[in-house]
Structure 1
């Protein structure tokens, strides 16, 4: 049975009024998944040992010290701390780690973490783009270092480039990181020529206004590389802001496109990794599109794990 990891304290992270990354995102997801047959658990906070697999201790300490007792501390034009943010962010990283432990421990074959703030823009020592800790990179390092895996695939289909994950995994030869994203678009990174220190990064930029058919054609060579890589585990940065209704970008995907990529990634996991997949929520800011797209994504994991 697919595991859903979420926690009410993710709602403690509040951004200023009008901010796209709002508490209501998780409320909409919880409603969409309420009647789905899933195992449900609450994560625990990531420890400093967990976080320092990707981030230096002084960075963690700096974020903690900057946390305000009330109101907001602004870290960059888009990224804020409120009194509950650091706990929520630690829970988000802890959810990714807990999902890895549950799946690699055999309790479940697939898992989805519905947490916020997201993580894939957080670089080694730099918060940005709503993100503090690199959840999926931390999860990948945990799978490698704690569980002793040799090859982990990390796939990011958020509309914004996963610059943080790229930074955190750039020099990690045991991972293959694939990221599709609209280009040009913030954060302005993710060129095809950025291939990692060990040819372990694949960037798939997509033109504004393009739809799912363009994505499917352009991602296929990366899927072929992933197949050749034969990952022992697949981790997904699941962003749903490529949806045509999303207000922050200009791609024209719909729910069928999220179903398609989820099925392809499960196929890879089924072929090489015993069907073991962990997916972590990233972006998606139209609440209706987010809810329906997450439900479609998680339902693929649920059905495929159940052999449907």
Structure 2
């Protein structure tokens, strides 16, 4: 089987103010880098409202619709903005995650990567923040559990910033294992090891500023991979943030492009052992455009090479 690339031009219509790091050029650079690869290219659907309501209350969705501007920008919090095209882009990003789950669990493809924006892992139950509107990875997890009837799914988040939204949205969900590595200290300030969820199904692995490959591999080999093996997920979801890269301007971890290839390859091996190779990955952060493009390509190349 092959790897699906799920995206939509609407994700280029989420416009942020000049100088904002979560910019249209991020997705343009990624799509250019992935263009030569042999992928099943899929148009991201709009998520259904019922999909969004799996994780966010109706009042939150109503507030976002009211805030959506007819022109210019609406500032939702300190660093999160909406333009006239942002809400459609967010529905496409959520829909891409759902479509990826449907395709992988339906046996259409081995795995999938959703090249979308806005990202999602900072959006909490009723709060947009950190450039994020909908919790895409958490939504994919709930869709796999509630719609497809899986018993166990895992979310692995290697973005440099803690996925506080995914943690919040899945805090009370015993069927979802959430594993995150993040620089600490760093915004948003959450992600301590003692934040382990209502059912002990959250594993936070803080990494010190300046740390690189050795520390990352020690955390994943010593903590994350054993937890995944013990949990035996039927699907692995990846929140693929590439801002732990040594060139990223918003943080200070020292991962190289090859490190993103390594962690992806290891997760693919685990998925082959545990869940028939089934992985759905969705884009989160990464703000140096060249590093983002190179690391994303390395990530997707490993998905293409993954064993079943």
- TM-score normalised by length of structure 2: 0.98
Structure 2 matches for 1:295-306, cutoff 5 A? Answer: 295-305=297-307
What does 1:81-92 align with in structure 2 at a 5 Å threshold? 81-92=82-93
Structure-1 residue corresponding to 2:256: 254
1:207-255 residue CA offsets vs partner (Å, 9 max, x unmatched):
0011111111022212101111011000000000000000000000011
SS of 1:297's equivalent in the other structure is helix
User: 2:60 is matched with which residue?
Assistant: 59
Give the secondary-structure state (helix, strand or coil) at the position aligned to 1:181: strand
Q: How does 1:42-81 map to 2 (within 5 A)?
A: 42-81=43-82
Q: Which residue of 1 aligns with 2:26?
A: 25
Which residue of the partner structure matches residue 166 of structure 2?
165
Matched with 2:124 is 123
Find 1:235's aligned residue among 233, 237, 246: 237
* SS class of match (1:41): strand
Q: How does 1:247-286 map to 2 (within 5 A)?
A: 247-286=249-288
| Aligned-partner Cα distance in 2 for 1:34–1:136 | 24
CA distance in 2, matches of 1:3, 1:84: 25
Q: Which moved more, 1:284-293 or 1:264-273?
A: 264-273
How many residue pairs get aligned? The number is: 306
CA distance in 1, matches of 2:298, 2:94: 23
Distance in 2 separating the partners of 1:43 and 1:118: 14
**Aligned mates of 1:266, 1:167 — CA distance in 2:** 26
The answer on whether the counterparts of 2:79 and 2:129 sit within 8 Å (CA) in structure 1 is yes
By how many angstroms is 1:75 displaced?
A: 0.8
SS in 1 for 2:140: helix
Query: What displacement does 1:264 show?
Result: 1.3
3-state secondary structure, aligned to 1:112? strand
Per the normalisation by structure 1, the TM-score is 0.98
Contact 2:72 2:84 in 1 (8 A): yes
Q: What is the Cα-based RMSD across aligned positions, in Å?
A: 0.7
Query: In 2, Cα distance between the equivalents of 1:287 and 1:222?
Result: 28
- In structure 2, stretches of 5+ residues that fail to align are none
Matches of 1:82 and 1:216 in 2, distance apart?
39
For 1:154 and 1:222, the matched residues in 2 are separated by 11
* Structure-2 separation of matches of 1:227 and 1:244: 30
1:60-113, Cα deviation, whole Å (9 max, x unpaired)? 011011101000010111000110000000000000000000000000011000
Q: Report the secondary structure of 2:306's partner residue.
A: helix
Hey, what does 1:226 align to over in structure 2?
A: 228
> Which one is further off, 259-268 or 174-183?
259-268
Structure 2 distance, partners of 1:172, 1:83, is 34
1:93-138 CA distance string (max 9 Å, x none): 0000000000000000110000000000000000000000000000
Secondary structure of the equivalent of 1:107? Answer: coil
Question: 1:176 maps to which residue?
Answer: 177
For residues 202 and 71 of structure 2, the distance between their equivalents in structure 1, rounded to whole angstroms, comes to 40
Task: Say whether the 8 Å CA contact 2:269–2:306 is kept in structure 1.
Answer: no
Question: For the residues of structure 2 that align with 1:48 and 1:56, how far apart are their CA atoms?
Answer: 11
Q: Distance in 2 between matches of 1:247 and 1:222?
A: 27
Whole-angstrom distance in 2 between the partners of 1:84 and 1:75: 15
